[in-house]
Structure 1
Amino acid sequence: MRSNQAHDAISTRLFDGLAYLGVLPFVIGIVMAYADFRFAGIDGRLWFTAYSSVILSFLCGVWWGGALNRLDHSHRLALMLLSNVVCLIGWCALLFYRFPFSLPVLAASYLFVERAEARLKPNLPYFAGYFESRSRVTYLVVFCHLVMIGVLWR
């Protein structure tokens, strides 16, 4: 039993570390936008919005996977439908990345995913610590969106 608990703790630390490391590309996009720097023709705004849309889609994929793997989940249909809707919203935000509504829509989508996840609980209880970290990272990502909005409209 003890080795199982240690394995869960190690796994949670890995997930936590990857979640916090995942904020770095948002910061890179902010710095690129602030410095008006382009990399291979990609400006900071596109970098940031594309990465944000990809991560949002990844989070929705977690819901999709949860729905596929938990046939007994009471909110299975909601997870499947919401994962698609939020993913499409992220895709539209990417398509219209030059429009002022794109970043606020993405930020709101992250908050929606975090709140819905807390309510729907798509994963097993032993990930509770991970989802606490995910909530903190979500708020950090939303803050990055607000900073990027400030940088773009300075």
Structure 2
Amino acid sequence: MRLIGVLGYAGLLPFVFFVVSAFFKTAWLYLNPFFAFVSYSAVILGFLGGVIWGRQLGTSDTASSAPALIFSNLFALVACLALLISSFGLSLIGLSLIVLSLAYVALLIAERDLLFEQRQDYPASYPTMRYWLTGAVVGLHLVMLWLYYN
């Protein structure tokens, strides 16, 4: 679990980097920090949806795993939608940030309801880590949203 925790919290670093870059109005390798933030966020949301998918592969009861499998695909589609919205122009980055923020909260609720309470093979500290990481990620999205509109 130690490596999972280190990797989980290290995953916040690109979010923080792009927020700092947006705050100081700097581009890294000529990349707009708002678009980079949305892109990274979409990738991470898709990855987390894939984690739900992967957790269901080991179950033999397909009827009880169906909601989790469907949700895992929905989160990947929402991530793609947010990325596509932002690709239409920087004027729509704010909408992408809102969509992604809501998706992270919905993902945590789905994980809690579909996985954490039903499966006992998670390390005890994993749900707590996910709550902290989701709170940090959503908070960084809100900071980025504020920077975008100011």
TM-score band, normalised by shorter chain: 0.7 to 0.9
Residue in 1 aligned with 2:4? Answer: 15
Q: Deviations 1:95-131 (Å, cap 9, x if unpaired)?
A: 1123121101101100011111011016543423112
Q: How does 1:37-116 map to 2 (within 5 A)?
A: 37-72=26-61, 75-97=64-86, 98=90, 99=92, 100-116=94-110
Residue in 1 aligned with 2:129? Answer: 133
Residue in 2 aligned with 1:8? Answer: none
Residues 71, 110 of structure 2: 8 Å contact kept: no
RMSD of aligned residue pairs (Cα, Å) = 1.6
Letter in 2 for 1:17: V
Secondary structure, in 3 states, of the residue corresponding to 1:71? coil
Secondary structure, in 3 states, of the residue corresponding to 1:121? helix
Measure, in 2, the Cα distance between the counterparts of 1:69 and 1:126. Answer: 13
Secondary structure, in 3 states, of the residue corresponding to 1:29? helix
Letter in 1 for 2:56: A
TM-score by length of 2: 0.88
Letter in 2 for 1:118: R
Residues 15, 137 of structure 2: 8 Å contact kept: yes
Residue in 2 aligned with 1:4? Answer: none
Question: How far is 1:74 from its partner?
Answer: 5.7
TM-score by length of 1: 0.86
Given the alignment, which residue of 105, 111, 115 partners 1:117? 111
Letter in 2 for 1:64: W
Q: Which runs of 5+ in 1 are unaligned?
A: 1-11
Residue in 2 aligned with 1:145? Answer: 141
Measure, in 2, the Cα distance between the counterparts of 1:63 and 1:31. Answer: 31
Measure, in 2, the Cα distance between the counterparts of 1:74 and 1:119. Answer: 16
